[in-house]
Copies of this chain bind each other. A is one copy, B any other.
Amino acid sequence: NKNLRKIGKNVNLSVFLSLTALGRVLGCAADVRAQLAEQQRCLEQQTEMRVQLLQDLQDFFRKKAEIETEYSRNLEKLAERFMAKTRSTKDHQQYKKDQNLLSPVNCWYLLLNQVRRESKDHATLSDLYLNNVISRLTHISEDSARLLKRSKEILQQLQDDLMKLLNELYTVMKTYHMYNAEMISAETKLREAERQEGRVKGVSGSGGGVEPVFGLRIEERHQRRNAARKMEKMREKRKAKYSENKLKTLKARNEYLLTLEATNASVFKYYIHDLPDIIDCCDLGYHSSLSRALKTYLSAELSLEASRRAGLEVLEGAVENLDPARDRQRLLGLYPTAFCPPQRFGFQAHMGDTIASQPQVQAELSLRLTQLQTRLASLKIENEEVKKTWGATLTTLQDMTVLDDCDVSQSFTHSPSSESVKSSVSDGYLNKPSLAKRRANQQETELFYFNVRKRKIIIQFIYGFCCKHGFSSHFIYCFWPLFHFGCL
């Protein structure tokens, strides 16, 4: 009987403990646990990617520093090679003396200076990469790893707390279910005892009311009263047990409800506040440090640009100042003995001979004058025409050389779909099919210009002289030889 009751109780418990509900809670907890692990992995992965990116950046800048150093060295060598060559020239020594150079030589020196400047700047750039940008990146990398470690510690603690809560929830729920099952079982037993007591009381009550047989009935009645007392005792005991179980269940349910609310609040708090907070902790200073590292890079590059531009502007000024007139003056000044006119030839009188009036040759001179006047009249016309031709030829020649374009900026456009960059280069000065023709044309015009100029040199002078001195008898002296040699 006791065994049977035990079995019945167990069966009741196994039925009463609603396993699906408990299973559901356990399943949820397992899901949450898996999600928490995934969150840790996400944070780790995030930092891993970050560290990898920082490593790539460091490798990148290290390699770029090498490239810049090599570039700088090559430029330095280039500048030095031509500087050494230049330093030994006469021009350079002259330059050191009076700082006065032919304008193309000045451009050449500035060009070499510019290369030297670029060389220095790229060396500085390399230096800044190695000693500044890379160090910053290393520090960011270290910081990221350390922050991850600390953030994970906090995360771990928060997750442990959360898991404790979930375990607690499971425990209190199980306790409530168990207590409730026990209460139901106790109630069943109480009802059973009440039913049995009722039956016993009903028999003794009906027996007491009739009382047909005394002797035997007294013994029987005593026996029945005993049974009823026993029943009542059992019912009391079961009632006490039920009440006890009922209070335990009430407390357990209350505890379960409290824990449930607290768990939900904690989960909410964890997902909505703590997780973003942890991610922020992990990010602490990352963006601003990276920004400063990249800004250092940008500052270095932009300063290099500015320096280069400043150098180019100096060179630009020198190119604008290319001045043939000043260079010619400088050439004449450099070789004074070669270009200084000799003294006038004086009249070398023979044995004190003096120049007197010579009426004897007047007629002959008059004839010469008339001839010259006629020739000069035609020369004047020719000069006008030669002048026009010369001017036009010079203009043509200048237009010819000015026409071609030295603006090559279109070669440096970067449109997203530009594999047409190369082709725009070939539009340049050289690859135009017309270049050979243009060059031939230029030389032809130049030849013509020279012939005209040759003629002009002679004519212009005569004409100018005519206007200046007028037709005097003195004038005749000057043109006689030209006339004589067939120049006119």
Complex Cα gap A341–B380 (Å): 106
Contact, CB under 8 Å: B341 / A39: no
Chain A interface mostly: helix
Q: Contact string, A281-298, partner B, CB cutoff 8 A, digits 1/0?
A: 101111111111111111
Is A407 part of the binding interface, using a Cβ–Cβ cutoff of 8 Å? yes
CB distance from A65 to the nearest CB of B (A): 11
Contact, CB under 8 Å: B120 / A402: no
Contact, CB under 8 Å: A124 / B412: yes
Is A204 part of the binding interface, using a Cβ–Cβ cutoff of 8 Å? no
* Residues in B neighbouring A64, C-beta threshold 8 A: 75, 78, 115
Most buried by B among A24, A347, A350, A401: A350
Contact, CB under 8 Å: A139 / B439: yes
Contact, CB under 8 Å: A408 / B266: no
Pick from B262, B273, B328: contact of A276, CB below 8 A: B328
Q: Contact string, A149-169, partner B, CB cutoff 8 A, digits 1/0?
A: 010001001100100110011
The residue of chain B having its C-beta at the shortest distance from the C-beta of A31 within the complex is B342
Pick from B299, B312, B342: contact of A301, CB below 8 A: B312
Contact, CB under 8 Å: A358 / B250: yes
Which positions 297-327 of chain A face chain B at CB distance < 8 Å?
Answer: 297-312, 315-316, 319-320, 322-324, 327
* Residues in B neighbouring A300, C-beta threshold 8 A: 408, 411-412
* Residues in B neighbouring A460, C-beta threshold 8 A: 273
Contact, CB under 8 Å: B60 / A111: yes
CB distance from A470 to the nearest CB of B (A): 15
Contacts A35-B337, A164-B485, A338-B39 given; indicate if A287 touches B131 (C-beta within 8 A). no
Contact, CB under 8 Å: B305 / A258: no
Contact, CB under 8 Å: B324 / A283: yes
Complex Cα gap A180–B350 (Å): 7
Complex Cα gap A78–B487 (Å): 72
Is A99 part of the binding interface, using a Cβ–Cβ cutoff of 8 Å? no
Complex Cα gap A341–B368 (Å): 122
Size of interface on A: residues with Cβ below 8 Å to B: 205
* Residues in B neighbouring A288, C-beta threshold 8 A: 322, 398, 401-402
Q: Contact string, A391-409, partner B, CB cutoff 8 A, digits 1/0?
A: 0000001100110101111
Is A70 part of the binding interface, using a Cβ–Cβ cutoff of 8 Å? yes
Contacts A286-B324, A292-B401 given; indicate if A135 touches B412 (C-beta within 8 A). no
Contacts A70-B74, A71-B67, A429-B132 given; indicate if A104 touches B53 (C-beta within 8 A). yes
* Residues in B neighbouring A280, C-beta threshold 8 A: 324, 328
CB distance from A170 to the nearest CB of B (A): 10
* Residues in B neighbouring A272, C-beta threshold 8 A: 341
Is A146 part of the binding interface, using a Cβ–Cβ cutoff of 8 Å? yes
* Residues in B neighbouring A319, C-beta threshold 8 A: 291, 294-295, 298
**Closest 5 CB pairs between A and B?**
A261-B477, A271-B341, A303-B409, A303-B412, A21-B348
Q: 26 A-B Cβ contacts within 8 A?
A: A16-B351, A18-B351, A22-B348, A28-B343, A56-B108, A104-B287, A107-B294, A124-B412, A128-B411, A169-B345, A180-B351, A250-B361, A253-B355, A254-B361, A260-B346, A267-B344, A275-B339, A280-B328, A283-B324, A283-B328, A287-B323, A288-B398, A292-B402, A295-B319, A298-B312, A307-B412
